[in-house]
Amino acid sequence: MSTTILWYASRGAGVVSLVLLTAVVLLGLTAAVRWQSAGWPRFLTVGFHRNLALTTLAFLAIHIVTAVVDPFTALGWNAALIPFSSPYRTLWLGLGVIAMYLLVAIMVTSLLRPLFGYRGWRLVHWLTYAMWPIAVAHGFGTGSDSGFAWMLGIDAVCVGSVLLAIAWRWSRVSPTSWRQVAANG
């Protein structure tokens, strides 16, 4: 396979992963407040959230595999699996590995939710609030397109929409129910 194709596939899959991951976070925040309307019942949000998360994993796998097998990057599997082991952009690639492991933990506990129980699942699911910004930081620091206006625009829309959704989610909580939110997410 051509190294040019691998290079573009890795970059494209990384950008698509960011956009999809942002959509998953937004849907998760929407589901957490049990938002629904006549045209969009709650079960659609929950199902779409789950399926989009699985699609995100597929694009993340493409991003990682194409970056590892691309001879131009010469990253190797250690850089993709062991945080901060790469000599190339050590911090930024390490953050990407950590974000990947957090995402996998969130997905595994979601798929095996009956084994973990609601409380255990919810506790691990709160890692999303750490995983998403770590993944965004990975893209800022190591993304080859991070300085271009189009990528800055995508980053700005992703960050802005998640910040607005978090503010919206927390604004829907009355001061007397903060403890419930902390317990239930």
CB 93 within 8 A of CB 75: yes
Task: Count CB neighbours of 128 within 10 A.
Answer: 19
Specify the pLDDT at position 62.
96
CA distance 68 to 129: 27
Q: pLDDT averaged over the chain?
A: 86
Q: Model pTM?
A: 0.84
Which residue type occupies 35?
W
Which of helix, strand or coil describes residue 128? helix
Per-residue pLDDT tens over the stretch 116-153? 888 888 888 888 889 999 999 999 998 888 889 999 99
Task: Count CB neighbours of 182 within 10 A.
Answer: 10
The residue with greater pLDDT, 38 or 109, is: 109
Q: Which of 18, 109, 92, 24 is nearest to 60 (CA)?
A: 18
